[in-house]
């Protein structure tokens, strides 16, 4: 059975007291026998406070720098991530690719750093609107995986989680249709099978992200190749996030 996951990406939102309140509220409801793993990617500033809250919700960083230490002003190293106890990270989010110019080579270095330091990764991929409109979405997403993830060997790739997040659906309120989501997830699984084998392809969790909310999560998570969601806006509201978790 593949691991089911619901992960919240708080992005650059909330102040410290709000973050602690939201995390506490969620933590009171998420039990150890939930049908899915639950994670929150908080602004890094709040992580140490949040790790003090007793919780079944895992914590993670939205960003880090793929070096162990050194003169990289303003950055958080992969070893600092590991040391924090919140050893989950997002890599390849479209906002990091677009606004911070993180390219394929840099993302590959980030992936390698997580494996070297036993940090868990959710690797995000997804096409912009113009690629979908041109009918290039499969080619585009496959290339993102080839460029930054498929250099891993079999024992490494099985440790990764993939999130398919069509850029045109992120924060826009426009969700991929069930058919669009399932078709891309199925294709991603087939490329993993092509590169590795079917056992590996069937063991890797692939999450959907892009305006997933309490109203559409159940239908999306019912798709055979959708193993959960990466949730932005709807993760900032405890009730919505809890309802998404309860969709499994």
Report DSSP letters for 62-119, one per residue. S--BSSSSSS-TT--BHHHHHHHT--EEEE--HHHHHHS---HHHHHHHHHHHHHTT-
Shortest distance, CB of residue 92 to ligand PEP, whole angstroms?
11
Q: Which of 221, 232, 240, 244 binds ligand PEP (CB under 6 A)?
A: 232
Shortest distance, CB of residue 81 to ligand PEP, whole angstroms?
19
**192 vs 234, beta carbon nearer ligand PEP:** 234
Q: Is 209 in the site for ligand PEP (CB under 6 A)?
A: yes
**212 vs 214, beta carbon nearer ligand PEP:** 212
Shortest distance, CB of residue 105 to ligand PEP, whole angstroms?
22
**227 to each of 15, 21, 119, 142, 241, how far by Cα in Å?**
31, 28, 20, 19, 16
Q: Which of 19, 50, 170, 184 binds ligand PEP (CB under 6 A)?
A: 170
Of 41, 71, 84, the closest CA to residue 235 belongs to: 41
Of 63, 200, 38, the closest CA to residue 119 belongs to: 63
**98 vs 146, beta carbon nearer ligand PEP:** 98
**162 vs 201, beta carbon nearer ligand PEP:** 162
Active site residue 67: no
Contact residues toward ligand PEP (CB under 6 A) are 9, 165, 170-171, 209-212, 230-234
């Amino acid at each position: 059975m593949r691991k089911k996951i619901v992960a919240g990406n708080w992005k650059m939102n909330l102040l410290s007291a709000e973050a602690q309140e939201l995390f506490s509220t969620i933590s009171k409801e998420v039990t150890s026998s939930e049908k899915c793993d639950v994670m929150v990617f908080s602004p890094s500033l709040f992580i140490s406070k949040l790790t003090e809250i007793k919780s079944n919700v895992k914590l993670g960083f939205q960003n880090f720098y793929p070096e162990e230490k050194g003169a990289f002003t303003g950055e958080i190293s992969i070893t600092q991530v590991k040391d924090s106890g919140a050893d989950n990270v997002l890599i390849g989010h479209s906002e990091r690719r677009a606004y911070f110019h993180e390219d394929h080579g840099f993302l590959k270095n980030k992936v390698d750093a997580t494996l070297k330091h036993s940090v868990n990764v959710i690797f995000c991929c997804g096409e912009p609107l113009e690629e979908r409109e041109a009918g290039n979405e499969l080619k585009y997403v496959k290339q993102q995986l080839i460029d930054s993830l498929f250099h891993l060997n079999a024992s490494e790739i099985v440790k990764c989680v993939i999130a398919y997040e069509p850029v045109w659906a992120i924060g826009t309120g426009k969700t991929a249709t069930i058919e669009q989501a399932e078709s891309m997830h199925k294709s991603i699984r087939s490329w993993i099978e092509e590169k590795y084998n079917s056992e590996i392809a069937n063991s890797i969790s692939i999450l959907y992200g892009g305006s997933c909310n309490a109203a559409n999560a159940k239908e999306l998570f019912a798709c055979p190749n959708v193993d959960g969601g990466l949730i932005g806006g709807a993760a900032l509201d405890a009730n919505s996030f809890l309802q998404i978790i309860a969709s499994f």
